[in-house]
Chain A
């Protein structure tokens, strides 16, 4: 019985390690600078965790394989060893705390600095089950919003104030288009319940909370067409609250803006 259980534990360990090692199902490619750092930190953690996992499971497999009641000799009578307790406590504390400190770096770089001055600012407003993206337009100023003018059915989902001239040239889209290699600042808002902005390729996720404006920034580097998902349960249509992020080259982005009526 013990031998079989020991073998099973080892087989499960090998299967688990294999599943993480083959990368058949893995992260979609990263398209940001910080994304590469996230992936590096993930791989570092994966190596540390794999060592801990394999050592623990293999040891467990070994003791059940080895120390069954059919073996010769008596069970050892021991109440433990303070020396061993201190040793393994110190080692695990050092490893885990180091990992914890290293894991803060990307977070700090994303959240503890203001967006660079050349960043493109886009306001993201989520609602049950759609995304609205607003660009400031030619005047580079976001127009006022008036909740009383909000109406999904009349095509003014954000409630752009018709009396504010700055609102006239604001561009509102249902997918997000950004230039490559230029910092993007998002101002995240929600109209109704909590949603979450998740583009797996960005290695980035942030909740959009009604009543709050949350500013985040990142720099997409690879031109492409990427899927955007909602990652916070927001109602029955949560699973299909889908949009796209288009990353365009600088030239194409200028063209896109021009098509939207923003000439420069």
Chain B
């Protein structure tokens, strides 16, 4: 590796503070900006989920401190139904867009894709900067949606924003649906544009900027995750953008894309609209919405594969199968959106087609799981925090994936649709599995990003408690769904007043248990945030390759110089996961190590 120590800067880093840290075109700075935008958002989303669990566990209870935060939404300290639904909506929207779509791709992908392929930067650095700042504007507008109608926390229609509830504005008679919804739609539209710019950049970068010798089949699996995610984003976000514009026109300009004739709302006949179809919004939304699930999870799969191989000290089992499985998931992901709409009123024959394709997605998902197990089989596992979270990812991916086998069947969806079974299912896979991918990525790549190691001891405590916590929250939710508990209810049964549904009386203890588990898990995250901040300033200095890993990011200093490889162009001789090669001096061969005839690679 001596060849890399001759650092000659090809182009000089900017010197001014603003160019260097604010409007930077350096993919590494932009990656960190995306990452912290996601950290900020996840704290908001987490606090909202804690408030929801307070309401669900103890409906109607007065919490004095809420009065001062929400003077109207919780006027007497109890969470009003409007406030509850606003929390549902904003928790979902912020988590899906500004956390799950932002950190894995915009954060880690931005930072590490160019380095892992041996490039000095993204293909379009200025476009990259614009994507981040466009995302930032989207977040500001979304926060505006929270406050614009004072006292409520923004729109109440859920993150899916089904029309006509989302299209009627003031006429809906619902708080938060006037200006709150407008800002919510505008924010999502801006976010779509940002994601499109980012996707173009990722695709071009990976196809055009690879270093000499970095053939496609030598790419780390993390790169395949980011690449496929970018393709999905490129094809799905324009559809949501178009849908958002149409919804906005319905809301503001009197068009009727999603509003049919003769609606009678709030004891008033609405005569201004005719001819629209509420189901069309669902088609547009879910054509984006289902690929979005994979946009959230594929980078996590890529990172997890990368980390599993590193700490198993073994090559990835079935590398090609892993790449093809990612493609298959991405491709099939575009033909299953209708499984969100089995009971929406669309033609039931369409449902059968969507159902079959949905179950087929289980096949590439199973291939990935088998290969992860194959990678760990016969390994010498180093149980770092990053590795623990990656193993946790595999476990959660299995737990969250198998329940899709129920929901993907039309006949079972008749009962389970829009119950807590669905809430448990998607939180398990798109929520916490994806979050575990981010945790794994953080503990693994932090040393490279910040030049210091994260606290491993506190990290491991964070893993154990979080892993137990998330299982305790989301597995019981499936049972609540089987018992018939509908989602997006401010409560199911209120023990104090005797309001609600008698058939759901029995699940009250489960609900309370889930709330306690949620408080516990949320509190545990303080360990993570503390570790993150503490390690940035006080962590042990990181060496170039603390994990003894093979890919290109571990050949450059921690943190890497402005142009990544110090004016030097790396040449790749090996596949990405040459661990424990028989006869090699160490148990890992860097991708840039000179070719050895007998190992191939």
Contacts and interface: CB of A to CB of B under 8 A. Distances in A.
Contacts of A198: 418, 484, 486
B156 interface: yes
B471 A191 contact: no
Contacts of A234: 165
Interface in A26-85: 26-28, 37-38, 41-42, 45-46, 48-49, 52-53, 56-57, 59-60, 63-64, 67-69, 71, 74-81, 84-85
B582 A77 contact: yes
Interface string B349-392: 10110011011101100110111011011111111000010010
Contacts of B349: 112
Interface in A202-257: 203-207, 209-212, 214, 227, 229-240, 242
A261 B355 CA distance: 46
A207 B484 contact: no
Interface string B334-348: 000000000111001
A37 B410 CA distance: 13
A192 B398 contact: no
A63 B484 contact: no
Interface in B489-510: 489-492, 499-503, 506-507, 510
B51 to A, nearest CB: 16
B203 interface: no
Contact of A204 (B156, B376, B414): B414
B137 interface: no
B415 A200 contact: yes
A75 B580 contact: yes
A30 to B, nearest CB: 9
Nearest to B313: A75
B126 interface: no
Given A27-B415, A212-B345, A235-B165, A96 B405 contact: yes
A155 B322 CA distance: 63
Nearest to A240: B499
Contacts of A96: 359-360, 362-363, 366, 405
Nearest to A71: B380
Contact of A193 (B165, B363, B403, B418): B165
A233 B581 contact: no
A19 B475 contact: yes
Nearest to A230: B486
B315 A128 contact: no
A152 interface: yes
B411 A104 contact: yes
Interface string B248-272: 0000000000001111111101000
A63 B398 contact: no
A173 interface: no
A49 B405 contact: yes
Most B-side CB within 10 Å, residue of A9, A69, A239: A239
A239 B314 contact: no
A21 B277 CA distance: 43
A141 interface: no
Interface in B38-90: 80-82, 85
Contact of B412 (A26, A45, A52): A45
A229 B486 contact: yes
A52 B406 CA distance: 13
A57 B321 contact: no
B483 A148 contact: no
Nearest to A242: B501
B276 interface: yes
Interface residues of B, number: 119
A162 interface: no
A147 interface: yes
A214 B278 CA distance: 14
A143 to B, nearest CB: 17
Interface in A95-109: 96-97, 99-101, 103-108
B352 A108 contact: yes
Given A26-B482, A193-B164, A104 B314 contact: no
Contacts of B388: 1, 5
B406 A42 contact: yes
Contacts of A106: 410-411, 414
Given A16-B475, A76-B580, A97-B356, A211 B406 contact: no
B154 to A, nearest CB: 13
B13 to A, nearest CB: 39
A9 B395 CA distance: 8
Contacts of A235: 156, 165, 172-174
B394 interface: yes
Contacts of B81: 236-239
Interface stretch (A86-94, A116-124, A176-184): A86-94
Contacts of B363: 89, 92-93, 96
A49 B425 CA distance: 13
A53 B402 contact: yes
Contact of A103 (B175, B370, B377, B412): B412
Given A76-B377, A209-B345, A236-B175, A227 B486 contact: no
A196 interface: yes
Nearest to A201: B503
A46 B352 CA distance: 20
A210 B164 contact: yes
B141 interface: no
Contacts of A231: 417-419, 486
Interface string B412-424: 1011011100000
B455 to A, nearest CB: 16
Interface of A: 1-2, 5, 8-9, 12, 15-16, 19-20, 25-28, 37-38, 41-42, 45-46, 48-49, 52-53, 56-57, 59-60, 63-64, 67-69, 71, 74-81, 84-85, 88-89, 92-93, 96-97, 99-101, 103-108, 110-112, 127-128, 147-148, 150-153, 159, 191-194, 196, 198, 200, 203-207, 209-212, 214, 227, 229-240, 242
Given A76-B314, A209-B279, A232-B418, 12 more contacts: A1-B388, A2-B383, A12-B471, A28-B503, A38-B411, A74-B582, A80-B316, A80-B374, A85-B371, A192-B164, A192-B263, A212-B279
12 contacts: A19-B475, A27-B415, A57-B399, A63-B381, A99-B359, A150-B269, A205-B343, A211-B278, A229-B484, A233-B85, A236-B81, A239-B490
9 closest Cβ contacts across the A-B interface?
A: A211-B260, A103-B409, A76-B378, A200-B484, A100-B359, A80-B318, A111-B348, A106-B411, A107-B410
Interface of B: 80-82, 85, 156-158, 162, 164-165, 168, 172-175, 260-267, 269, 276-279, 312-321, 343-345, 348-349, 351-352, 355-356, 358-360, 362-363, 366-367, 369-371, 373-374, 376-383, 388, 391, 394-395, 398-399, 402-403, 405-406, 408-412, 414-415, 417-419, 460, 464, 467-468, 471, 475-476, 478-480, 482-484, 486, 488-492, 499-503, 506-507, 510, 579-582, 587
